[in-house]
Structure 1
Amino acid sequence: MKYSDILLDLDDTLIDTIENTRLTLTEIYDDYAFSRYFPSFHDFYTIYYANVSHLWELYGRGQITKQTLQRERFIGPLNSIEEVSEEQALAINDDFIARIMKKGVLVEGAKELLDYLHPRYRIHILSNGFTEMQYIKMESAGISSYFDKVILSDKVGVNKPHPDIFTYALTEIGVKPENIIMVGDNLFTDIGGAYNSGLDQIWYNPKNKSSEDFEPTHTVARLEEIRDIL
């Protein structure tokens, strides 16, 4: 067996963060009567998603801090609404975080994949998510017990795709690059980061996106396909 260890991204690779976000935002939209400000939930969600996706991209590139991302998550979508103060937007963000951590929807096939991998490999989380959230999210999703190591960027001090976090992970786990493989959904942070650090990769790519800069070691559209690789 070539690999002894598996590195797994958490959000939208195992935990269905997109769906958990949609569910939580639906609650926020209803409970704060956002229909006063947006024609529909879809309009609100579209604005929110564009804003937070941009923030996470900047955070992954090291261009903004964790505090800025959290601060701007709702200030951005709500900044044109005079009735909502900055303090209220920050309070809504705190409420959002408290709610989403309790959502436990997994990506289809995630639990079955973990059941398959666990007896065969040491499996570890490598995530850019925030320490105060990720452990609770794993607990809510019922997957905490599967992992040997949980390596989080804000604890390490550097984000994927920076090579330093992959070097840190190899040292922490005690494994050579050729004996570990990275599984993730984000081509830039997960797959590109692993590629540039000399690790094999499995790109979970359910939307059949293209990779122009390099060819990942493996690409799958469904998590169940990983069993044919590992």
Structure 2
Amino acid sequence: MPIAVALFDLDDTLFDHHHATNVALKTVFQEYIAPSDIPFDDFASVHLELMDRLHHQHMVLGRLSLGQVREIRFEQLLAHFGLDLPHTPAQLAARQRSVFLENRRLIDGARSLLEALRAQGIQIGIVTNNMLNEQIDKLAHLQIANLIDQLITVDMVGAGKPEPDIFHYALHRHHCKPEQAVMVGDSWPNDVIGAHRAGIRPVWLNRHHQARPDATPCVEIHQLTPTDEALDAILNGPV
């Protein structure tokens, strides 16, 4: 059955979240942490672990607000390295957030790919584990909101990827069957496994050339360019 709907993850699939986060964290590190003997890579690694854990508590369990997540992340980060700074975790979090917002950008080829899909009459949806207001602002800043037919977020559904509910909700909003849709994303557990279990063909955007964690069938691409190659993989790749 021909593909009628292309579903995309947003962060690190269309939006270069890694770039914005890395620039922001390096800025905070250089301005506040660098006089110490802590290697940046160690600092960034612990930051990533905290971000993933606190994100789960906020998005999935609903225990923390985004503001609390950002502040607690730096509070625990400083505690982990035994840092006693004259600046509060809230100040560090605010600085990181400011730089993050200034450095938001699309992944190379994202806009051209979305435009090519639209030109072929394909509906485009975003399925994300982030919050509605955050992602609306992001799409507006990236200037691709006009290319998106449906934005499906974790707080709209009350469940996130890889749970089937969020995929089923996306299919319902697009009025299509699972076999008419494809899901493009960078996360193996959330996007590949989640889509596969919902009956949707997954396309794994593996920009960092990671090994496949298991034998789940999927199309694998490493970038969104050239547009014609990415388009062909998404629409015509093996089931």
Partner of 1:163: 164
Partner of 2:49: 50
The two structures have a TM-score, normalised by structure 2, of 0.82
Q: How many residues align?
A: 226
Partner of 2:108: 108
Contact kept, 8 Å, 1:13 with 1:185, in 2: the verdict is: yes
* Distance in 1 between residues matched to 2:198 and 2:69, nearest whole Å: 26
Q: Which amino acid aligns with 1:50?
A: E
Contact kept, 8 Å, 1:161 with 1:190, in 2: the verdict is: yes
| Residue 37 of structure 1, CA deviation | 4.1
Query: Deviation string for 1:32-79 (max 9, x for gaps)?
Result: x222445354443233223324444x4599467453644532222112
Contact kept, 8 Å, 1:78 with 1:84, in 2: the verdict is: no
| Residue 115 of structure 1, CA deviation | 2.0
Contact kept, 8 Å, 1:60 with 1:189, in 2: the verdict is: no
| Residue 103 of structure 1, CA deviation | 2.4
* Distance in 2 between residues matched to 1:202 and 1:54, nearest whole Å: 26
Contact kept, 8 Å, 1:102 with 1:137, in 2: the verdict is: no
Q: Which amino acid aligns with 1:148?
A: D
Identity of aligned residues (%): 28
Structure 2 SS opposite 1:26 = helix
RMSD: 2.5
Contact kept, 8 Å, 1:102 with 1:140, in 2: the verdict is: no
Structure 2 SS opposite 1:50 = helix
Partner of 2:22: 22
* Distance in 1 between residues matched to 2:72 and 2:62, nearest whole Å: 11
Partner of 1:13: 13
Structure 2 SS opposite 1:101 = helix
Contact kept, 8 Å, 2:9 with 2:126, in 1: the verdict is: yes
Partner of 2:73: 73
Partner of 2:154: 153
Moved more, 103-112 or 43-52: 43-52
| Residue 161 of structure 1, CA deviation | 0.6
Tell me, yes or no, if structure 1 residue 129 matches structure 2 residue 130: yes
* Distance in 2 between residues matched to 1:210 and 1:40, nearest whole Å: 27
Partner of 1:83: 85
Partner of 2:97: 97
Contact kept, 8 Å, 1:101 with 1:136, in 2: the verdict is: no
Structure 1 SS opposite 2:165 = helix
Q: Which amino acid aligns with 2:210?
A: K
Structure 2 residues not aligned, in runs of 5+: none
* Distance in 1 between residues matched to 2:210 and 2:30, nearest whole Å: 33
Structure 2 SS opposite 1:211 = coil
| Residue 137 of structure 1, CA deviation | 1.9
Partner of 2:190: 189
Query: Deviation string for 1:174-214 (max 9, x for gaps)?
Result: 21111111000000011111111111111111222233433
